[in-house]
Amino acid sequence: MADSLLKVVDVYKSFVGVKALQDVTFSIQPGEIHCLAGENGSGKSTLIKIISGVYTPDAGSIEINGRQYNKLTPIEAINNGIQVIYQDFSIFPNLTVMENLAVNSELSEHRKLVNWKRMRTIAEDAVSKIDFDVDLDELVGSLSVAQKQMVAISRALIFNTKLIIMDEPTTALTKREVSNLFKIILKLKERGISILFVSHKLNEMYEISENFTILRNGKVVATGSTKELDAEKFSFHMTGRKFTKRHYRVERLSSEPMFEAKQAGVQNGFEDVTFSLHKGEILGVTGLLDSGRTELALSLFGMRPIDSGQFYMYGKPVTLSSPKAAIHNKIGFVPEDRLSEGLFLPQSIADNVVISEIDRLTKKAGLVDKEKRAEEIEKWVRELAIATPDPNNLCQTLSGGNQQRVVLAKWLACNLEMLVLNGPTVGVDIGSKHDIHGILQDLAKSGLGVIIISDDLPEVLENCSRVLVMKAGRIVADLETDKTDESVILSYMM
C-alpha cells in the first residue's frame, strides 16, 4: 500500500471536561475518497478542525505525507495541500465569482494593488479545472447553492491541493445537483486529489466512497471498506441502536376527507392540483425541485394563496389567504429551512415551544399564566423527547434533530387537525430521523392528517400510505406506496 497522505493517530480532544474525541485513528491514501460519518455531536466537526489546524489536539498527532505534527496551524495545513469546504462555503456573497476565486491568492502574495487582469486569469484557470461554466462577473449571492459549491471547489483547487474536506456537501442540493457533484469528485480523484466526504447518509457513502470511518460519542466505532457495510450495520454503528423497519399502514381512515384540493393552482407554481386527505392518513408529495411541490406546501399554509380552484375542510370551502387563516383552520406547517423559518434560535427552547399558543396561555390582564406555560413546556419536552437539561437553554444549543422536535412541539401544542411538513428530516441524523418518523406515524394514528413533502423517496415509501408525484406543476401520479417502489416513482418524476 502506498504511503498515506494523511494519518490521524490516537487523537484526543476535550472542552471544559467534555470529551469530544478519544483515541481517534484513521488514514487517507492519495486519490482516495473516504467518508467520515457520524450523528450530530459525534465529533466530526472537531476532527475536521484538528486536521485543518484550527484546533490543537490534547494528545495524539497528525501526519501529512509522513511528517508528524503535534501542533498543526491552519497555514501549515493549507501549505500541505489541505482545504476545507464548510456547509456555508465561506464565500463572500457581495463579491463577484472572480473576486471570490482570486482574493486568497492576492492576500497570500501580500499584493497592495488590484490587478484585474491577473485576477481574471486566476479565476479562469480555477473554473477550467472542473469545467465549471459560470459568469465570472456575477455576484456570488445571486448564484444557486450548487453553483456556490462549485465556486468553493474551484477556489480550493487554486492552491496545490492534495486533500479536500467536504462538510455535509449535499445537504441543500437536489438529486441532479448531487449527481453533478459526484462527477466532479470523481474527476478530482483521477487527478490524485483525496476527498474526505463528511456525511450521515448511507446511500451517498455507498455511491461515492471507497472507505469509511464512523464516529460515535467521539470514538471510532467502525472503519474499513464501504463494500463491507450494509444498512443495518451502518445504522447500528451510527447510533448504537437496532431499528426495526416499519411501513405505515392506516388503521382508522375517516370515511369522508378532512381536506380536499380541487383544481387548485397558483401562477408560476402549480395548476389543476386535485387530491384529498383523510384523518389518520399520511400523504406523501414528491417531485424534483422545480416540480411545484414547494409551492404547493406554501399554498397549503396560506403563504402563496391559490388563484384558481378551491380548498375544502370537511366539505366546506376555505380560503387560506395567509398563515393566520391556515392556523385558524387548525393547519400547521413545518418548513424545510427550520433555522430561518421555523424557529427563533436566539430564544429559549421553552419560548419556541409555546409561541404559537401564547394567546391561550395569557390571562385577561394580559399576563402569561406561568403555571400553565410551565405545564405545556414540560409536556412537550417529555412527549417528543427533546434532549435538553434545561428548556430555558437557547434553541440554537440543540442538535438538528432536536430542533425539529421543537418545531413539531410548537405546532402540536395548537391542537392541530392537519400538519404539512416540507422536508421534515433534512439535515437530521439517522437516529433522530427514525424517531421523528415514529412521532409522525403515532400522530396520524391518533387522527391527525399529515402531508409529507419530500424528495427523500425511502422516507416517503416508509411513512406514507399514498404518494402524489408532481412534475412541471401538475400531479402526474397518485400511487399506493405498498404497491410501488423508488424506480416507478422516479420514472414519473423524470
- Domain limits, the chain: 6-239, 259-493
Output the average pLDDT for the chain: 88
pLDDT band at 477 (very low <50, low <70, confident <90, very high): very high
**Residue 338: its pLDDT value, please?**
62
- DSSP assignment of 213-252 equals EEEETTEEEEEEEGGG--HHHHHHHHHS----------SS
- Percentage of residues of the chain with pLDDT beyond 70: 97
Model confidence at 412: pLDDT above 90: no
Model confidence at 465: pLDDT above 60: yes
**Residue 1: its pLDDT value, please?**
46
Domains 6-239 and 259-493 share a fold: yes
Model confidence at 117: pLDDT above 60: yes
Query: Whole-model pTM?
Result: 0.71
Cell numbers representing residue 376 in the block: 405545556
CB atoms near residue 191 (< 10 Å): 11
Model confidence at 215: pLDDT above 90: yes
| Distance (Å, whole) CA 216 – CA 201 | 15
**Residue 160: its pLDDT value, please?**
84
Q: Which residue has the cell 424545510?
A: 336
Per the model's pLDDT, the better-predicted residue between 336 and 26 turns out to be 26
Q: Which residue has the cell 457581495?
A: 94
**Residue 6: its pLDDT value, please?**
95
CATH topology of domain 6-239: Rossmann fold (3.40.50)
Query: What are the pLDDT digits (tens) for 94-106?
Result: 999 999 998 877 6
What architecture is the 259-493 domain classified under in CATH?
Answer: 3-Layer(aba) Sandwich (3.40)
Give the mean model confidence (pLDDT) for residues 87-93: 84
Q: Helix, strand, coil: what percent of the chain each, to 5?
A: 35, 25, 40
Which of 25-34, 111-120, 175-184 has the highest average model confidence (pLDDT)? 25-34
Give the Å distances, CA to CA, from 75 to 26, 54, 156: 22, 10, 14
Confirm if 452 and 424 have CB atoms less than 8 A apart. yes
Model confidence at 316: pLDDT above 60: yes
Cell numbers representing residue 292 in the block: 411545484
395's CB contacts (< 8 A; 6+ apart) are 343, 344, 345, 346, 347, 348, 349, 352, 403, 406
